[in-house]
Amino acid sequence: MAADPDRSTRPPQSPPPPGTPRWAAMFYDPLSASWRCAAESPDRTPVLYAIGEMTQVKRARGDEVTVALWGPDGDEWQRFDPAAANALDAPAPEPAVPPAEDAVRTGHARHTERLDDRRHQVLMAGLSKAGLYDLGPDDETAVRTLVDRVDETTLRRVAHWMAVAGRPVG
């Protein structure tokens, strides 16, 4: 019986994450030949967002990406197809009158708002360390523009530069 030539290069099947069932993303690390839980939440949307972001970063580095999406099925773990889960979240046309309570959109909006708040905090901390505390309306506009257009990693780098620039010399 001939061995499957791809068998040695394929990662083993992902085990379920430890703990009580929730939404979790498991990424395979080929260097350690192990799976690790890289994102988890009681809500599916933040985990799918994290999968997308981590996949982009890993592919940009030239890494191979293998991910498993796990979620609750009652009190048990169930494995989901990440591609199918993302397809279910494809943006639908905006309704003429938005529903009063749309849990999926509300969860995504809260997640996006938290990311914006975090980037804003990073930038404001950098400005404070640089000694800039009293910001005018033009400064606030510049901060908001950076928060809206620049990714968190870049903002952290800019905040680091400001912190270093704000240190006393001597």
State the greatest distance between any 2 C-alpha atoms of the chain, in Å, as a whole number: 75
Angle in degrees, 0-180, between the axes of helices 137-149 and 152-165, rounded to the nearest 10: 140
Q: Per the confidence metrics, is the pTM higher than 0.85?
A: no
Distance between CA 166 and CA 163 in Å, rounded?
5
If you average pLDDT over residues 17-42, what whole number do you get? 91
Mean pLDDT of the chain: 76
Q: Report which of 14, 8, 57, 55 is spatially closest to residue 35, judged by C-alpha positions.
A: 14
pLDDT of residue 58: 83
Confidence label for 23 from pLDDT (cuts 50, 70 and 90): very high
Residue with tokens 């169930």: 78
Q: First and final CA of the chain: distance in angstroms?
A: 74
Higher pLDDT, 108 or 30: 30
* Four-residue CA torsion sign, 39, 45, 50, 55: positive
Task: Summarize pLDDT for 98-128 with one digit per residue, the tens.
Answer: 554 444 455 667 767 777 777 777 777 777 6
Confidence label for 36 from pLDDT (cuts 50, 70 and 90): very high
Distance between CA 21 and CA 39 in Å, rounded?
13
State CA 104 to chain mean position distance.
17
Q: Radius of gyration over alpha carbons of the chain, in Å?
A: 21
Task: Summarize pLDDT for 86-97 with one digit per residue, the tens.
Answer: 434 434 334 444
Residue with tokens 């999406």: 69
Higher pLDDT, 166 or 66: 66
